[in-house]
Structure 1
Amino acid sequence: MQENTMAWLFLLPSLIFLILFTLYPIIKTVYLSFFQSDLSTDRPIYVGLTNFKMMLEDEVFRKAFINNFWFAVGTIPTSVMLGMLLAILVNRKIKGTSLARTAFFYPVVIPMVSAAFIWLFFYTPEYGMINKLLHLLGIGDLNLLGNSSTVLIAIIVMVIWKEAGFFMIFYLAALQNIPKELLEASHIDGASKWMQFWKIVFPLLMPTTLFSVVIATTNAFKTIDQLVVMTQGGPNNASNLLLYYIYESTFRFMDYGKAATATVVVLVIMIVIAAIQFFGTDRKIHYS
């Protein structure tokens, strides 16, 4: 009994922060989603599911939802797979490996706003680095951030560059924990490098892959910093994502009921995706 009491006392500070900064905001947001709360009302007015109906009819929300879907499709598998490939590349004991690890990980430590300004310089028409290279090749200017068909791809490329090194660290740690006896035994049995990777290394990396995919999915639905700096959701909402939609609804239009409703939708999406990943994929992973 005394041990249980001490354990709960040690957990109490964390529980307080969890309740104040996680559980309470979630409950408050769900509650506010059933109310009209904007500049036209002195106090919140209960409207039931009207906010959800209006949001589904909102073309900007639908556009942000579709953009976020393609943004997730473009960033999650590519960032995770690239992180795995980089980890395999720098896991070798060759000269320059430490320098390569530092170079690949360096984008991770750069603040997102700073990274956005760096890539804004790359993408800027006329004097941006990409257009300078295109001029050398005799190709005209490309306004990647000003074109509706290319802006989302440009943002995806920047995010992949930013996240791949982060996942590389986890894969590198997982690779170094793989027993070398397994690889040596398979080599003696005549297994090729590809067979070693596919039959031994890749299955043992699956727990890390699951973790990385969950983190990448979370990141895909909380992207906002680079949008504020680089595009502000434009042109014509072509780069508008769900979190930026919530940000605009809250701080630009002061429509707190609408913002809360969109937040609830994002929260439900994240819970569903996490449940599918854990309860669907986790059964196929062996941790032993």
Structure 2
Amino acid sequence: MRGRATLHAWLMLGPAMLLLVAFTHYPVVATLWHSLFSTPRGARPARFVGVENYAALADDPVFWQALSNNLLYALGTVPLSIGLALAMALWVNGRIAGRAALRVAYFTPTVLPMIAVANLWLFFYTPDYGLVDRITGFLFGWGPTNWIGSQETALGAMMAIAVWKEAGFFMIFYLAALQAIPPVLYEAASVEGASRFTVFRRVTLPLLGPTTLFIAVNALINGFRLVDHIIVMTHGGPDNATALLLTYIYEVGFRFWDTAQASALTMVLLLILALVALAQFTLLGRRTHYR
């Protein structure tokens, strides 16, 4: 019986494991292998160069700018997306009029394709008659601003789009987690005379720990993965002001056809994601309560 159960378990896990190896583990190993070789050019085959591709990255100023841009992009979008998602979830979880419509409105940006979002925001950011200039001109008296054509504002403009797109998606997870909290806990806190802030800090926030950890990891991945709008709107410009690691990988691999250097860049990106995700699980995991 035990052998049959083990065989049944492996047969059930087999398809998923096969897909995981074929589309995750094998590509990572293959990318690492290709990063140790030069890019084949015509009749010249690839040759083993060791870590030369990684050494070249250390002397590449565009790589360092893309890395710093990406870190700033992640630091700006991840906390804002999570905080806004939690605030929206708390708002629409309460007994307010029209909360169903509010939920739909908050979630709508999530279902829009990123290419469509990019074209929509191209109009919003249009100098002088775009929506953003109209609002800032009315509220603050500012003149026309080239939001995505200026090095000072381009990256911030891209971050705003990412937060607008992602917050509604994360709100759904927080909303589901809030509705799973037993009402008896809030009743006990009310009997004890706890304030709303105390209830949120001592009851709601700890019970949202697993959801927050899940959202934080996904938000971090999206901070390095979500670049469609940048490719459509700025192509990494002006003067690499919005260049991120993934856009630079795309440019090196498909514009300059340097697949070996693109493979090295990919491994650097995967290493950064792995280290940050490990830090998140280590630091947040200790404060996460699953029961």
TM over 0.5: yes
Equivalent in 58, 61, 64 of residue 59 of structure 1: 61
- CA deviations on 1:93-137 (whole Å, 9 max, x unpaired) are 222000000000000000111111111110112332222344556
Structure 1 runs of 4+ aligned residues shifted over 2 Å read 38-42, 131-139
Question: What is the distance in 2 between the residues matched to 1:16 and 1:64?
Answer: 34
Q: Normalised by the size of structure 1, how large is the TM-score?
A: 0.97
Q: TM-score, normalised by structure 2?
A: 0.96
* Alignment pair present for 1:198 and 2:201: yes
1:223–1:244 CA contact under 8 A, matched in 2: no
Q: Distance in 2 between matches of 1:77 and 1:136?
A: 29
Q: CA 1:281–1:139 in 2, change beyond 3 Å: closer, same or farther?
A: closer
| CA–CA separation in structure 2 for the residues paired with 1:38 and 1:98 | 57
Task: Give the corresponding residue for 1:160.
Answer: 163
1:240 match: secondary structure: coil
Structure 1 residues 1-288: aligned runs within 5 Å: 1-37=3-39, 39=41, 42-136=44-138, 138-288=141-291
Paired residue secondary structure (2:118): helix
| CA positional deviation for 1:201 | 0.7
| Matched positions, count | 288
Aligned in 2, Cα 1:134/1:106: closer, same or farther, shift over 3 Å?
same
Measured against aligned partners, the alpha-carbon deviations of 1:129-161 in whole angstroms (never above 9, x if no partner) come to: 222344556532100100001100000011000
Between the aligned partners of 1:127 and 1:40, the Cα distance in structure 2 is 50
Q: For residue 179 of structure 1, report the CA deviation from its aligned partner.
A: 1.2
Could you tell me which amino acid in structure 2 is paired with residue 5 of structure 1? Answer: L
- How far is the alpha carbon of 1:40 from its aligned partner? 6.9
How far apart, in 1, do the equivalents of 2:138 and 2:188 lie? 52
In 2: Cα distance, 1:258 partner to 1:124 partner: 36
How much has 1:185 moved relative to structure 2?
A: 1.1
Paired residues of 1:126 and 1:141 also in contact (CA < 8 A)? yes
Q: Is the 8 A contact 2:69 2:241 kept in 1?
A: yes
Give unmatched runs, 5+ long, in structure 2: none
**Aligned mates of 1:277, 1:45 — CA distance in 2:** 38
CA RMSD, Structure 1 to Structure 2 (Å): 1.3
- Residues 56-103 of structure 1 show CA distances to partners (whole Å, capped at 9, x for unaligned) of 110000000000000000000110011000000000122200000000
* Structure 1 residue 41: Cα displacement: 6.7
Q: Do the aligned residues in 1 keep the contact of 2:73 with 2:223 (CA within 8 Å)?
A: yes
Separation (CA, whole Å) in 2 of partners of 1:252 and 1:147: 24
1:26 deviates by: 0.5
Cα distance in 1 for residues equivalent to 2:277 and 2:89? 25
Residues in 2 aligned to 1:285 and 1:180: alpha-carbon distance in whole angstroms:
20
Q: Is the 8 A contact 2:162 2:226 kept in 1?
A: no
Distance 1:39 1:142 in 2: 45
The residue identity in structure 1 corresponding to 2:148 is L
SS state of the match for residue 286, structure 2? helix
- Point out the more displaced range, 138-147 or 263-272: 138-147
Indicate conservation of the 8 Å contact 1:29/1:260, yes or no: yes
Change in CA separation of 1:39 and 1:224 when aligned onto 2, cut-off 3 Å: farther
How many percent of aligned residue pairs carry the same amino acid?
44
Q: CA separation in 1, counterparts of 2:150 and 2:24? A: 38
User: Displacement of 1:194 after TM fit?
Assistant: 0.9
Shift of 1:224: 2.0
